[in-house]
Amino acid sequence: MGSSDAGSKDKGKANGEKEKVLFTDSGIKVKRIYTERDAKRRKKERDGGGVEDAGKYPFTRGIYPEMYRERIWTMRQYTGFGSAEETNRRFKFLLEHGQTGLSLAFDLPTQTGYDSDDPRAEGEVGRVGVAISCIDDMMRCFDGIPLDKVSTSMTINSTATTLLAFYIGVAESQGVPIGILRGTLQNDILKEYIARNTYIYPPEQSMRLFVDSMEFCSKNMPSWYPVSISGYHIREAGSNAVQELAFTFSNAIAYVDACIERGLKVDDFAPRLSFFFCCTMDILEEVAKFRAARRIWATIMKERYNASNEKSMHLRFHVQTSGESLTAQQPDNNVIRVTLQALAAVLGGCQSLHTNSRDEALSLPTEESVRIALRTQQIIAYESGVTRVVDPLGGSYYIEHLTDEIEDRVWKYLRRIERMGGSLKAIEKGYFQQEIRENAYRIKKEVDEGSRVIVGVNKFVEKEAEVPEIMRIDPALERKQVERLKAFKADRDKAKVEHMISRLEDAAESGHNLMPYIVESVKARVTLGEISNAFRRVFGVYQPKLVI
């Protein structure tokens, strides 16, 4: 987001001059200067009136006492394109250049439950992520990468259970016990109905798959995060910082309620909940947002769910810099945008971070652009000095005021959503969607009018457009992927495959946890599309209501 004077007005000063009133991206009024009185908490300190410390409830200043003084965040660059082999090469390139965690992007057919040879997948195979249709694809993706040594994040939602099963299959082929696997499954289906639309099944059935995976991981994969509850896509769809937190935490409450209803104890699964937030251009508001987020989540877990384990109250979150803020015009400017956003994420205390590449408004990033994005994190970590102190901006009058103000506004949203009946009801009514649309329209109007400056787009524009080298996906990759998948399907025990699909459908019609059946199916060489189609036949396909 660019800087905005939108909604500003002149206010008389004592000397007769007019003072301009400005607002943050979330519409919070910004005064000319802040003092100690502005920074005082409007509520009694929760630790009995003392000064808040990192590592102590409500964790405003950080969930760990030492934060980056002890260990810097995980540098997790998002990767996935074309074929499994291409993605495998990029993974190895990043690991060689100092990346500390893998993050896997999938193409649209994989996200929406279609095999690469499905006619509906034509033209989309490998375009915005890697094509994974079967266990052999996943084997190629992680060939030569020891899963007991790396942490892997998978950005997948509707088909998350199947991709987790593929990953388990790869681990077992390497002789790695699934109990030691480390990583994160995004698996946040509710935000799909709100912001991204790569859902398949109706919300109730999708929530069942979510709880099945939570239950399975809590019993079998203690080092794995089975969900990354995402505000990122809500923000990229057009929400502001306050809405991002409010809608994300509303979804989180729905997930926790569903797990408790299944019979899981909050302190058994809550420590493995993780979050995923966006960081955009209003960098001081973003820092305050992360500080407020920790406080809000700690309060929800302690006061709403009576969690007794402090780890249940920890807000562990990944940050990705804002793709929506990147511009195709003057793409080198995006290096500066990403640097500022990454710095804000670090000042806000993230646990892992992805930095976007300068050319992502044009295409998937080149290796050179990815290297610059990774080096951006490394320079912040090792040269900037910001890792030497916990919560470096804590105590700033402005930051403390913004933290309080954001927290108050988020609680107002949460109470309103609660009165509607929670996230599922709010989604059905189109409430989240309408709020996001209205804010997105406001931002677009400000850009069009010039009150929100985007450098190189509506100000400081250059006549000669830059045309950098961009990555192009070879169409031959799709043909090769389709041919290979057809060969995979032909070289199977068809009777065994049909039997496993029938078992899946029977399990879906019953109340059984589906994860063991999905794991068994992928080992029997059932494909992602076949598993998804089995669930389509039982669960149906979601058709959103027209909200006027």
Is residue 235 included in any domain, yes or no?
A: yes
- CATH code for the domain in which residue 54 is found: 3.20.20.240
Rounded CA separation 352/77 (Å): 10
Please report, as a single letter, which amino acid is at residue 149. K
Per-residue pLDDT of 170-199, as tens digits, reads: 999 999 999 999 999 999 999 999 999 999
**Mean pLDDT, residues 304-318 taken together:** 97
Q: Which residues pair with 102 in a beta bridge?
A: 77, 152
248 — phi, psi (to 5°)?
-65, -45
513 falls in which pLDDT band (50, 70, 90)? Answer: very high
C-beta of residue 126 within 8 angstroms of C-beta of residue 477: yes
Residue 226: asked if its preceding bond is cis (omega within 30°), the reply is: no
Is residue 5 included in any domain, yes or no?
A: no
Is residue 514 included in any domain, yes or no?
A: no
Please give the torsion angle defined by the CA atoms of residues 76, 81, 83 and 85, in that order, rounded to the nearest 10 degrees: -30
C-beta of residue 492 within 8 angstroms of C-beta of residue 525: yes
Q: What is the pLDDT of residue 6?
A: 46
Q: Which residues pair with 274 in a beta bridge?
A: 228
Per-residue pLDDT of 75-125, as tens digits, reads: 987 777 778 998 999 899 889 988 878 989 999 999 999 999 999 999 999
Is residue 188 included in any domain, yes or no?
A: yes
Is residue 260 included in any domain, yes or no?
A: yes
SS3 sequence of 111-165: HCCCCCCCHHHCCCCCCCCECCCCHHHHHHHCCCCCCCCCEEEEECCCCHHHHHH
408 falls in which pLDDT band (50, 70, 90)? Answer: very high
Residue 503 structure tokens: 């078992």
Per-residue pLDDT of 360-394, as tens digits, reads: 999 888 889 999 999 999 999 999 999 999 999 99
Is residue 279 included in any domain, yes or no?
A: yes
The answer on pLDDT for 458 being more than 80 is yes
pLDDT above 90 coverage of the chain, percent: 84
**Mean pLDDT, residues 220-235 taken together:** 97
**Mean pLDDT, residues 421-428 taken together:** 95
Q: What is the pLDDT of residue 42?
A: 53
The answer on pLDDT for 44 being more than 50 is no
Task: Give the chain's domain count.
Answer: 1
Per-residue pLDDT of 122-162, as tens digits, reads: 999 998 899 999 999 999 999 999 999 999 999 999 999 99
Q: What is the mean pLDDT of the chain?
A: 92
Is residue 525 included in any domain, yes or no?
A: no
Residue ranges making up the domain that contains 44:
38-453
Residue 209 structure tokens: 């798959």
Is residue 533 included in any domain, yes or no?
A: no
Rounded CA separation 188/446 (Å): 31
pTM over 0.85: yes
Residue 495: CB partners within 8 Å, gap ≥ 6? none
